Amino acid sequence: MIQGLIMIFSTIIFAFFAIINYGGGIDQITFNLININEKILTPFGANGSLTPSYVSSFWVLVGVGVIGIPQIAINSMLYKNKKKSKTIHNCWNYSNIYSYVWSSFDRGYG
């Protein structure tokens, strides 16, 4: 727990230091990025080459892929409360349905 707290506080301090000292603040960083290319801050890339299905694939990777991480998988196997286990199973199913529906609209099926 102490190591985790040190990591969290170090990250916050480093991010604050980097943004203030090197970037001139969030407003200045955003202004500089918009001056380079005004589309650079969109989720679809600076030249618009990233499709919604490509961008949503990262959501699927993080949303479903996390289940395969060993520490998450082991902890999920150890649930003794059947209600909690069923809730997690339902959430996983709903997220798969959502990602399918979202990607089907992008492909023109919906």
Confidence of residue 80 (pLDDT cuts 50, 70, 90): low
Closest CA to 59 of 107, 90, 102: 102
* CA separation, residue 110 to residues 17, 56, 91, 107 (Å): 46, 16, 23, 8
Alpha helices (H) along the chain: 2-17, 26-36, 52-65, 70-77, 82-107
The 8-class DSSP code of residue 78 comes to T
Average pLDDT for residues 89-101, to the nearest whole number? 77
Please give the Cα distance from 93 to 105 (Å, whole number).
19
pLDDT at 61 over 70: yes
pLDDT of residue 92: 75
Q: Which two tokens stand for residue 66?
A: 């996390």
Which has the higher per-residue pLDDT, 97 or 35? 35
pLDDT at 85 over 80: no
Which has the higher per-residue pLDDT, 67 or 29? 29
Q: Which two tokens stand for residue 83?
A: 């209600």
The 8-class DSSP code of residue 20 comes to I
Please give the Cα distance from 25 to 70 (Å, whole number).
38
pLDDT of residue 35: 92
**What are φ and ψ of residue 32, in 5° steps?**
-65, -40
Note the pTM of the prediction, 2 decimals.
0.42
